[in-house]
Amino acid sequence: MERYFVFIATFMLILHLVQAQDPTGFINVDCGLPLRESPYNANPTGLAYTSDAGLVNTGKTGRIAKEFEPLYTKPILTLRYFPEGARNCYNLNVTRDTNYLIKATFVYGNYDGLNLDPNFDLYLGPNLWSTMNTNDTIEEIIHVTKNDSLQVCLVKTGISLPFINSLELRPLPRTAYASQGGSLKFMFRRYLSNTDRTIRYPSDAYDRKWYPMFVEGSWTQVTTNLTVNASNLYDLPQDVMTTGATPRNPNATLNITWTLESPTTKYYSYMHFAELQTLGANDTREFNVTMNGKSQYGSYSPKPLKTQTIFDITPGQCDGGACLLQLVKTPGSTLPPLLNAIEGYTVIDFPQMETNEDDVAGIKNVQETYGLSRTSWQGDPCVPKQFLWDGLNCNNSDISTPPTITSLDLSASGLTGIITQAIQNLTHLEKLDLSNNNLTGEVPEFLANIKTLLVIDLSGNNFTGTVPPSLLQKKGMMLNVEGNPHLLCETGSCVNKGEAGKKKKSIIVPVVASIVSIAVLVGAIVLFLVLRKKKASKVQGPAPSYKQASDGRSSEPAIVTKNRRFTYSEVMTMTNNFQRVLGKGGFGIVYHGFVNGTEQVAVKMLSHSSSQGYKEFKAEVELLLRVHHKNLVGLVGYCDEGENLALIYEYMSNGDLKEHMSGARNRFILNWGTRLNIVVDSAQGLEYLHSGCKPPMVHRDVKTTNILLNEHFQAKLADFGLSRSFPIEGETHVSTVVAGTPGYLDPEYYRTNWLTEKSDVYSFGIVLLEMITNRPVIDQSREKSHIAEWVGVMLTKGDIKSIMDPSLNGDYDSGSVWKAVELAMSCLNPSSARRPTMSQVVIALNECIASENARGGASREMDSKSSIEVSLTYGTEMSPAAR
Per-residue model confidence as pLDDT tens digits over 104-147: 999 999 999 999 889 999 999 999 999 998 889 999 999 999 99
Give the whole-angstrom CA distance, residue 2 versus residue 536.
64
CB atoms near residue 159 (< 10 Å): 9
Q: Kindly report the backbone phi and psi dihedral angles of residue 343, in degrees, each rounded to the nearest multiple of 5, phi listed first.
A: -130, 150
Averaged pLDDT for residues 615-632: 76
Nearest-5° Cα angle at 309, 667 to 222: 160
Q: Report pLDDT for 522.
A: 46
DSSP 17: H
HSE of 817, CA atoms in CB hemisphere, 13 A? 22
User: With contact defined as beta carbons under 8 Å apart, do 617 and 625 qualify?
Assistant: no
Q: Report pLDDT for 610.
A: 52
**Residue numbers annotated as active site:** 701
Burial of 432 (0-12, 13-18, 19+ CB in 10 A): buried
The answer to whether the Cα torsion of 399, 402, 408, 413 is positive or negative is positive
User: Does the structure show a pLDDT above 70 at 528?
Assistant: no
At position 548, the amino acid (one-letter code) is Q
* Stretch (H or E) spanning 471: helix 469-473
Q: Report pLDDT for 868.
A: 24
Predicted TM-score (pTM) of the model is 0.58
DSSP 615: H
User: Does the structure show a pLDDT above 90 at 217?
Assistant: no
Q: Report pLDDT for 162.
A: 97
Averaged pLDDT for residues 581-585: 77
Nearest-5° Cα angle at 435, 430 to 436: 165
Q: Kindly report the backbone phi and psi dihedral angles of residue 523, in degrees, each rounded to the nearest multiple of 5, phi listed first.
A: -60, -40
Regarding beta strands 635-641 and 707-709, do their DSSP bridges make them parallel or antiparallel, or are they unpaired? unpaired
Averaged pLDDT for residues 3-8: 48
User: Does the structure show a pLDDT above 50 at 878?
Assistant: no
- Bridge partners for 604 per DSSP: 590, 647
- Is the backbone peptide bond immediately before 75 cis, with ω within 30 degrees of 0? yes
Q: Report pLDDT for 558.
A: 44
Residues 6+ apart with CB under 8 A from 125: 150, 151, 153, 350, 352, 354, 379, 380
Averaged pLDDT for residues 381-397: 92
- In angstroms, the Cα distances linking 21 to 15, 235, 266, 663 are 10, 11, 34, 29
Q: Which of 129-133, 184-188, 353-357, 580-584 has the weakest average pLDDT?
A: 580-584
Q: Report pLDDT for 810.
A: 84
Nearest-5° Cα angle at 262, 256 to 266: 70
User: Does the structure show a pLDDT above 90 at 675?
Assistant: yes
User: Does the structure show a pLDDT above 90 at 548?
Assistant: no
Give the whole-angstrom CA distance, residue 650 versus residue 262.
24
At position 816, the amino acid (one-letter code) is S
Q: Across the chain, which distance is largest between two alpha carbons, in Å?
A: 109
User: With contact defined as beta carbons under 8 Å apart, do 488 and 494 qualify?
Assistant: yes
514 vs 381, which has greater pLDDT?
381
Give the whole-angstrom CA distance, residue 258 versus residue 297.
19
Q: Report pLDDT for 140.
A: 97
Among 656, 655, 649, 654, smallest CA distance to 599 is for 649
Give the CA dihedral 636, 638, 639, 645, nearest 10 degrees: 130
At position 613, the amino acid (one-letter code) is G
Q: Which of 55-64, 361-370, 595-604, 727-736 has the weakest average pLDDT?
A: 727-736
Averaged pLDDT for residues 449-456: 93
Q: Report pLDDT for 634.
A: 85
- Bridge partners for 62 per DSSP: 79
Band (443; pLDDT cuts 50, 70, 90) = very high
User: Which residues belong to the annotated binding site?
Assistant: 604
Is residue 277 helix, strand or coil?
coil
Burial of 383 (0-12, 13-18, 19+ CB in 10 A): buried
Q: Which of 214-228, 648-662, 832-846 has the weakest average pLDDT?
A: 648-662
Averaged pLDDT for residues 831-858: 84
Q: Which of 386-395, 558-567, 568-577, 737-746 has the weakest average pLDDT?
A: 558-567
Averaged pLDDT for residues 393-417: 91
Give the whole-angstrom CA distance, residue 611 versus residue 721.
11
At position 381, the amino acid (one-letter code) is P
HSE of 555, CA atoms in CB hemisphere, 13 A? 4
381 vs 520, which has greater pLDDT?
381
User: With contact defined as beta carbons under 8 Å apart, do 335 and 257 qualify?
Assistant: no
Averaged pLDDT for residues 317-333: 93
What is the share, in percent, of the chain residues with pLDDT greater than 70? 81
CB atoms near residue 701 (< 10 Å): 22
- In angstroms, the Cα distances linking 258 to 124, 175, 344, 345, 789 are 26, 26, 10, 12, 55
Q: Report pLDDT for 271.
A: 97
628 vs 148, which has greater pLDDT?
148
Among 99, 96, 162, smallest CA distance to 130 is for 162
CB atoms near residue 832 (< 10 Å): 19
User: Does the structure show a pLDDT above 70 at 696?
Assistant: yes
Give the whole-angstrom CA distance, residue 781 versus residue 19.
35
498 vs 825, which has greater pLDDT?
825
Q: Report pLDDT for 398.
A: 76
Q: Report pLDDT for 17.
A: 31
Give the whole-angstrom CA distance, residue 127 versus residue 807.
33
740 vs 534, which has greater pLDDT?
740
Domains of the chain (ranges, CATH numbers) = 31-176 (2.60.120.260), 188-199+211-348 (2.60.120), 357-514 (3.80.10.10), 551-650 (3.30.200.20), 669-862 (1.10.510.10)
Count, residues in the chain: 883
Averaged pLDDT for residues 355-380: 93
Tens digits of residue pLDDT in 813-843 = 888 998 999 999 999 998 888 999 999 999 9
User: Does the structure show a pLDDT above 80 at 8?
Assistant: no
Give the whole-angstrom CA distance, residue 720 versus residue 698.
9
Averaged pLDDT for residues 218-222: 95
User: With contact defined as beta carbons under 8 Å apart, do 645 and 589 qualify?
Assistant: no
Tens digits of residue pLDDT in 237-283 = 999 999 999 999 999 999 999 999 888 999 999 999 999 999 999 99
User: Does the structure show a pLDDT above 90 at 411?
Assistant: yes
Is residue 742 helix, strand or coil?
coil
Averaged pLDDT for residues 582-606: 83
What is the share, in percent, of the chain residues with pLDDT greater than 90? 56
HSE of 806, CA atoms in CB hemisphere, 13 A? 3
Give the whole-angstrom CA distance, residue 648 versus residue 605.
9
DSSP 563: T
- In angstroms, the Cα distances linking 867 to 22, 344, 808, 842, 860 are 31, 20, 10, 23, 10
CB atoms near residue 477 (< 10 Å): 18
User: With contact defined as beta carbons under 8 Å apart, do 439 and 462 qualify?
Assistant: yes
Cα-trace Rg, the chain = 32
Distance spanning both ends of the chain, measured CA to CA: 25
Question: How far out from the chain centre does Cα 431 lie?
Answer: 32
Q: Report pLDDT for 726.
A: 57
Tell me the pLDDT of the chain averaged across its residues. 82
Q: Report pLDDT for 18.
A: 32
User: Does the structure show a pLDDT above 70 at 491?
Assistant: no
Residues 6+ apart with CB under 8 A from 358: 425, 427
Band (503; pLDDT cuts 50, 70, 90) = very low
Nearest-5° Cα angle at 444, 439 to 446: 135
User: With contact defined as beta carbons under 8 Å apart, do 40 and 61 qualify?
Assistant: no
CB atoms near residue 472 (< 10 Å): 17
Q: Report pLDDT for 19.
A: 30
Tens digits of residue pLDDT in 27-80 = 999 999 999 999 999 999 999 999 999 999 999 999 999 999 999 999 999 999
Question: How far out from the chain centre does Cα 271 lie?
Answer: 26
Q: Report pLDDT for 292.
A: 92
How would you list the strands of the sheet with 589-595, edge to edge?
565-566, 635-641, 644-650, 599-605, 589-595, 581-584
User: Does the structure show a pLDDT above 60 at 746?
Assistant: yes
User: Does the structure show a pLDDT above 90 at 346?
Assistant: yes
Among 236, 231, 230, smallest CA distance to 210 is for 236
Q: Report pLDDT for 142.
A: 97
Q: Report pLDDT for 275.
A: 97
- Is the backbone peptide bond immediately before 44 cis, with ω within 30 degrees of 0? yes
CB atoms near residue 121 (< 10 Å): 18
User: With contact defined as beta carbons under 8 Å apart, do 10 and 229 qualify?
Assistant: yes
Among 710, 874, 711, 871, smallest CA distance to 263 is for 874
Q: Report pLDDT for 811.
A: 85
User: Does the structure show a pLDDT above 90 at 562?
Assistant: no
User: With contact defined as beta carbons under 8 Å apart, do 413 and 461 qualify?
Assistant: no
Q: Report pLDDT for 12.
A: 32
DSSP 444: P
Q: Report pLDDT for 344.
A: 96
User: Does the structure show a pLDDT above 50 at 189?
Assistant: yes
User: Which residues belong to the annotated binding site for ATP?
Assistant: 604
Averaged pLDDT for residues 522-546: 40
507 vs 778, which has greater pLDDT?
778
User: Does the structure show a pLDDT above 50 at 730?
Assistant: no
